[in-house]
Structure 1
Amino acid sequence: MGGNTREAGRSTANRLLSLLAAFTPAAPVLTLSELARISGLPIATTHRLAGELIEWGALERLADGRFQIGLRLWHVGSLAPGHRDLRSVAMPFMEDLYEATHENVQLAIRDGKRVLYLEKISGRKSVDTMTQVAGRLPLHATGVGKVILAFSGAELFSQVVAEGLARCTPHTITLPGVLAETLEQVRQNQVAFSLEEMTMGASSVAAPIFGPEGTLVAALALVVRSSTNVRPLVAAVRTAALGVTRELSAPLSPGGNLA
């Protein structure tokens, strides 16, 4: 059903989704005025629609009047079959990789022109990172992002370059030609590195996870202190990623489980 035509013909669904999309890992809690500004809706409309989302459980209002995503929305999101299956298949391999290294282990997929982190295992002694589950980071500056760029075709590369290769640290690759050469090495070796390119003090080594048809599904990475020699970690990361790839390609038993 259509929304208020005075608001540029936006449907009710469009306006509700714009409110939910206003929340990000960098801004998980917002005031009413911030919600209105980010969504482009009038304060009165924002207040009314936010009330409906609170009633349904998609939003929660805190004691100070600010808003955050509600638990019901998280529960609905967890039902997405592709990501749920990927996480459940990958988790045992991620746990093994963590037990072998006690470093940050991350599982990521592509979300438009960004990296979306689906899962993460960290320990008390693991290096601090900017990564959050459900968080997004640039493709060109992260190990998992380079894997995604390398195996996603020329169109995505062109889009990312056209948007600009932002400098996250002094070590970030910002020249398209250098990035193209780096991605060719990733395709040849099926491993990518990010050496203090996203966060100073942290480096990563990542490997691709492929689906049954040989297309890229996700990337798996270890993130360690930049003082760590990442080369000896390549075999462990690639082995874990290959294990997930094999499980994703395994036939299902009659009961619906992996055979």
Structure 2
Amino acid sequence: MANSPTGDSVADRLIRVLATFTPTRTVQTASEIGRRAQLPRSTAHRFIGELVTAGLLERDEDKRIRVGMRLWELATRSSQALRLRQAAMPSMERVQQRIREHTQLAIEEQGTALFLERLSAPDSGANVTRVAGRLPLHASSSGLVLLAFGDRDLQESILAGPLPAVSAETITDPAVLRRKLAEVRQLGHAVAPGYVEGVSTGVAVPIRDETGTVIAALSMVLRREMPVGDALVELHRAAKEIETALGAPRG
């Protein structure tokens, strides 16, 4: 798979092709992939064929294309995200069983909150997040925790804007966001009423590694009318359990 005549590398084309798949667009035709990846038709069909041969993509009985199991296998080998998820799952399950609302695990990735896991009960309230989905850091409780405890360059980059509104109550003013981040650091958790959906409140706490660095956020999405106290108690307890499972010292 050599570089193309236009100068884009194999890596460039691979990233563009894989980026055409989303949580709601899991199967596509080769032509659709080529158009969305901005590849010439002949190049797209040849390149996709090579990826299918390599097992990174798969072709179904209708000749439509989906992400291949080989890509999943390679991506999860020695994955820090997988290790974090495995350490978090027992505690997440206990939290979800006790509170009976959406329980989520997120990390900061390329300036967004990337959700690694979500547990839900059949009667849980509204929630737009999904596994492998993303939200802006300023617009969710998980994102606020990751941003508040993130490095200064990340904070200033997000504060520089734009701060798009996900709902009518999302913080879009940099000065207000700066005060909110200071509040999160002081309290040790984030409460985000209506920031993503007007009917829900997000609550989140940090998860730290053995150096004390915040590496993830553990959150719940509650119905707007629910008190947040019990959820925060359970989340803080679970975060400590996860930190211990990851090898962080107690205390």
Which TM-score band (shorter chain)? over 0.9
* Separation in 2, partners of 1:199, 1:57: 39
Match 1:81 to one of 75, 79, 96: 79
Partner of 2:28: 30
In the TM superposition, residue 163 of structure 1 has moved relative to its aligned partner by 4.0
How many residues align structurally?
A: 249
- Residue 140 of structure 2 aligns to which amino acid in structure 1? T
Deviation at 1:32, TM superposition (A): 2.8
Contact 1:115-1:137 at 8 Å conserved across structures: yes
Q: Which residue pairs with 1:206 in the alignment?
A: 204
Q: Secondary structure at the match of 1:119?
A: strand
Tell me if structure 1 keeps the 8 A contact 2:193–2:202: yes
Q: Tell me the SS of whatever aligns to 1:182.
A: helix
Displacement of 1:63:
4.5
RMSD of equivalent CA atoms:
1.8
Instruction: Calculate the TM-score normalised by the size of structure 2.
Output: 0.92
| AA at the equivalent of 2:16 | S
Corresponding residue number in structure 2 for 1:184: 182
Q: Runs ≥4 in structure 1, deviation > 3 angstroms?
A: 62-66
> Following TM superposition, by how much is the alpha carbon of 1:18 offset from its aligned partner in structure 2, in angstroms?
2.0
Structure 1 residues 43-64: Cα deviation after superposition (integer angstroms, max 9, x where no partner):
1111111111112222123444
1:117 aligns with one of 115, 118, 122: 115
Amino acid at match of 2:224: S
> In 2, Cα distance between the equivalents of 1:95 and 1:147?
21
What whole-Å deviation, never above 9, does each CA across 1:113-170 have from its counterpart, x for those lacking one?
A: 1111111111101113111111111111111000000011221122223341111111
SS at match of 2:246: helix
Deviation at 1:244, TM superposition (A): 1.2
SS in 2 for 1:134: coil
Deviates more, 1:122-131 or 1:62-71: 62-71
Where in structure 2 are the equivalents of 1:1-259 lying within 5 Å? Answer: 2-4=2-4, 6-7=5-6, 9-250=7-248
Partner AA of 2:119 in structure 1: I
- Tell me, which stretches of 5 or more residues in structure 1 are unaligned? 252-259
Quick one: percent identity of the two aligned structures?
A: 39
Task: Give the CA deviation at 1:17.
Answer: 2.6
What amino acid is aligned across from residue 3 of structure 1 in structure 2? N
Three-state SS of the structure 1 residue aligned to 2:139 is: coil
